[in-house]
Amino acid sequence: MSNDFDAIVVGSGISGGWAIKELTERGLKVLLVERGPETIHGEDYIGEGKAPWELPYHGAIPEDTLSKEYAIQKQCYALDGATKQFFVNDRQHPYITDKNKPFSWIRGYQLGGRSLLWYRQSYRWSEMDFTANKLDGHGVDWPIRYRDIAPWYDHVETFAGISGSKEGLKQLPDGQFLPPMEMNCVELEVKKQIEQQFPSRSMIIGRCAHLTKPTKEHLELGRGQCQSRDQCERGCSFGAYFSTLSATLPAAKRTKNLTILTDSIVQSVVYDAVKKRASGVRIINSKTNKHEELSAKLIFLCASTLGTTQIMLNSKSETFPNGMANSSGCLGSNLMDHIFESGASGEYPGFEDKYFKGRRPNGIYIPRYHNIISKDDRFLRGFGFQGGGKRPSWKRAKSISGIGVSLKEQLRKPGSWTFSLGGFGEMLPDKRNRVWLDKKLKDKWGIPVLNIECILRENEQKMLKVMSEDAREMLEASGVINVKPYNNSAPPGLAIHEMGTARMGHDPNTSVLNKYNQAHDIPNLFVTDGSCMASSACQNPSLTYMALTARASAKAVEMLQEGKL
């Protein structure tokens, strides 16, 4: 392969997709390196649009395959027979945890990465989120504030297509929205009740990366309107939800500045001690095991939080014996996820004559309300709720008795309305939550596997408890009956919002990256995936990764052109 690239981008998920788009559109010759196979938009969505009876085993994965090949991935709601090609085989991609400290690392190794699988909720962070570390002393201060990222939120929202409603909430800034999706009758009623009885709280329709009304820019990329199938994780040939394959990849391709290398695992980044720059990457062809070194002026690591961290830890040199750009020693530390699996659900009496049409790939959202105006003594920071109202389908048969004609007649009608709220809460950065390379165990390509140690601590436990209490309280106050609170404490990782192991900060002694996602130690190395996060807030993070990546890409090109790299 020719080595004539301005930039190498490692990883093709949400962050990598944005990096290739922004870099190629600014005229750079870019090589995209993806460890997984090529995935063709549309053609490779083999489960798309299929009814259950058109899928092998009605869409179920054979039990032995599930327990042997997908022992971890099976915890993810999105894994089934129609999507399993987008998830890693756990047996082929091991990592190590203490058995009492499980961490669920959910991964998709293919062109497009997990941008094919994400749940598409898209929320801005607010000023409060960027100042939180400084105010309570957990983690290091973010080197940016809301005003630094706001124009980049505008930029990525406009291109990606985010559907949502303008609400004027300080803790959840409005953005460039496509029309919001509809709430159903019960959601409208519960919204009214919650907002009346808890004046500091609001319930809004979820903001999500779906084209409710495509713009000219979307249409030109071959994208179309959302069809409310709610099978997004199978892939969508309408390109109605944002993914690398539907949006950023075609945008980068049309510049003619992009070269794609799939089935290529980045083993490490090469460091040139004379020039004090990253000079390229060492790659291993996953099929042939062939090793190769490729060079470029600029390296963007977007291989996902733990993927990028693994590459950096494995990039050892005389200058960086503990991993590349790790003079601070904090590479691998401060792993965070969101805490969830705590909330409540119940039944909503009435509206029996009302029903919905379509499977809305979105729910409602209750933005954070704790620790905003007044301080809550029980825990630091806060959480939001996702949820919604629905009428259960025949699947409720699992918990009702009856057989024969009466069962069939009962299931011909939808069940009574139900309403549920599930919290997503902020996890504090803590250096004890960390990853490191194993000294013995290597994967089949000879790369040391990761050890992961991450547990929920006092603040998280307290927050989880309040989540389910608050959810119960709000539902009961809104007329929901038979409310059942729950607090199941999911293993960390399972929110699939892992982040923080190569954090941004002002100080090179306590952080890996500066305010432009540029390594403090190595000017031409940029890290823009979730590993850059100095705190987790409680909002779904992908939109922020997009904005940070676009911002860093623009800055990197500027610095390159100024000869600063």
Partner 1 sequence: MKISNKIDRKFSRREVIKRVGLLLGVSVPLSQLEIIASSFAVSKGKNKPQFFGNKEFALLTQITDLVIPRTDTPGAIDAGVHVFIDMMLAQWASNETQSKYLNGLKGIDKEAKLSFGANFIECADDQKIGLLKKLDNMKETANNQQQSFFSELKWFVVEGYYSTEEGASIELNYDRMPGKYKGCLPFDEQGRAWS
57 binds partner 1 (CB under 8 A): yes
What count of other Cβ atoms lies within 10 Å of the Cβ of residue 514? 19
* Among residues 96, 150, 185, 372, the one that binds partner 1 under rule CB under 8 A: 185
Binding string, 249-288, against partner 1, x = CB under 8 A? ----------------------------------------
- CA dist., res. 217 & res. 23, Å (int): 18
CB-nearer residue toward partner 1: 166 or 408: 408
Q: Give the shortest CB-213-to-partner 1 separation in angstroms.
A: 10
Helix/strand/coil for 433: coil
Strand 204-205 versus strand 364-366 pairing type: antiparallel
DSSP letters, 93-133, are S--B--TTS--------STTGGGGT---B-----HHHHHHH
Instruction: Using the Cα atoms of residue 237, residue 242, residue 244 and residue 248 in order, give the sign of their dihedral.
Output: positive
291 binds partner 1 (CB under 8 A): no
Chain CA centroid to CA 32, Å: 20
Q: Name residue, tokens 């709601």.
A: 77
CB-nearer residue toward partner 1: 151 or 350: 350
CB-nearer residue toward partner 1: 103 or 242: 242
As given in the structure block, the two tokens for residue 151 are 């124009």
* Among residues 168, 256, 353, 562, the one that binds partner 1 under rule CB under 8 A: 353
397 binds partner 1 (CB under 8 A): yes
151 binds partner 1 (CB under 8 A): no
What angle do the packed helices 146-160 and 127-136 form, to 10 degrees? 140
- CA dist., res. 196 & res. 478, Å (int): 9
356 binds partner 1 (CB under 8 A): yes
192 binds partner 1 (CB under 8 A): no
**Region binding partner 1 by CB under 8 A among candidate stretches 330-338, 388-396, 447-455, 535-543:** 388-396
* Among residues 2, 403, 439, 562, the one that binds partner 1 under rule CB under 8 A: 403
359 binds partner 1 (CB under 8 A): yes
354 binds partner 1 (CB under 8 A): yes
Cβ distance 345 to 421 under 8 Å?
yes
CB-nearer residue toward partner 1: 51 or 274: 51
- CA dist., res. 546 & res. 153, Å (int): 8
411 binds partner 1 (CB under 8 A): yes
349 binds partner 1 (CB under 8 A): no
* Among residues 40, 290, 355, 431, the one that binds partner 1 under rule CB under 8 A: 355
**Region binding partner 1 by CB under 8 A among candidate stretches 248-256, 319-327, 391-399, 513-521:** 391-399
Q: Give the shortest CB-62-to-partner 1 separation in angstroms.
A: 5
91 binds partner 1 (CB under 8 A): no
Angle at 77 between CA 84 and CA 247, to 5 degrees: 65
77 binds partner 1 (CB under 8 A): no
Q: Give the shortest CB-122-to-partner 1 separation in angstroms.
A: 17
Cβ distance 329 to 427 under 8 Å?
no
* Among residues 144, 261, 372, 407, the one that binds partner 1 under rule CB under 8 A: 407
- CA dist., res. 531 & res. 336, Å (int): 9
- Indicate left, alpha or beta for 113 from its phi (over 0: left) and psi (-120 to 50: alpha): left
The residue among 211, 232, 97 whose CA lies nearest residue 158 is 211
- CA dist., res. 486 & res. 365, Å (int): 18
CB-nearer residue toward partner 1: 199 or 404: 404
Nearest 5°: phi and psi at 217? -60, -40
Q: Who contacts 416 (Cβ-Cβ below 8 Å, separation ≥6)?
A: 347, 348, 349, 352, 391, 392
Radius of gyration in angstroms for the set of CA atoms belonging to the chain, rounded to a whole number:
23
* Among residues 3, 67, 196, 215, the one that binds partner 1 under rule CB under 8 A: 67
CB-nearer residue toward partner 1: 391 or 551: 391
Q: Give the shortest CB-52-to-partner 1 separation in angstroms.
A: 4
CB-nearer residue toward partner 1: 237 or 322: 237
The residue among 37, 31, 114 whose CA lies nearest residue 286 is 37
* Among residues 42, 414, 448, 479, the one that binds partner 1 under rule CB under 8 A: 414
- CA dist., res. 9 & res. 276, Å (int): 19
Q: Give the shortest CB-334-to-partner 1 separation in angstroms.
A: 39
* Among residues 37, 38, 60, 146, the one that binds partner 1 under rule CB under 8 A: 60
Binding site for partner 1 (CB under 8 A): 49, 51-53, 57-60, 62-64, 67, 181-185, 187-188, 227-229, 352-360, 391, 393-395, 397-398, 401-405, 407-409, 411-414
